[in-house]
Amino acid sequence: DQQVKQNSPSLSVQEGRISILNCDYTNSMFDYFLWYKKYPAEGPTFLISISSIKDKNEDGRFTVFLNKSAKHLSLHIVPSQPGDSAVYFCAATYSGNTPLVFGKGTRLSVIA
């Protein structure tokens, strides 16, 4: 039972363009969402998060949008850079305390 779904296993984007990574969730109790980025042979690293009381959070080139009614969030990277090529995981938790539930990840390739 996948509570957090990333339906696109991979995405290819040209350098300088926008990358949009999508994530859907089924558990309406989730109230905090995070994105992690993973390079090969490394552990995932925290990228950006959003609370369910907000619908947008921005940090430099990275913006996360949350649509609670659709149970959908997305990560926008603008402009995309070759160094952004990695696997991106969406994760969710509730009550700020339960262990993170991760999606299967989306592999982003940014082509120069």
> Residue 42 or residue 112: which is nearer to another protein going by CB?
42
Q: Which of 24, 80, 103, 110 is close enough to bind another protein by CB under 8 A? A: 103
30 near another protein (CB under 8 A): no
Reported in sequence order, the residue ranges of 15-68 that DSSP labels E, i.e. its strands, are 19-25, 32-38, 45-51, 56-59, 62-67
The tokens describing 5, both together, are 């779904």
Q: Is 89 exposed, middle or buried (0-12, 13-18, 19+ CB in 10 A)?
A: buried
Q: Contact with another protein (CB under 8 A): which of 25, 30, 32, 88? A: 32
Instruction: Find the binder of another protein among 22, 49, 52, 109 (CB under 8 A).
Output: 49
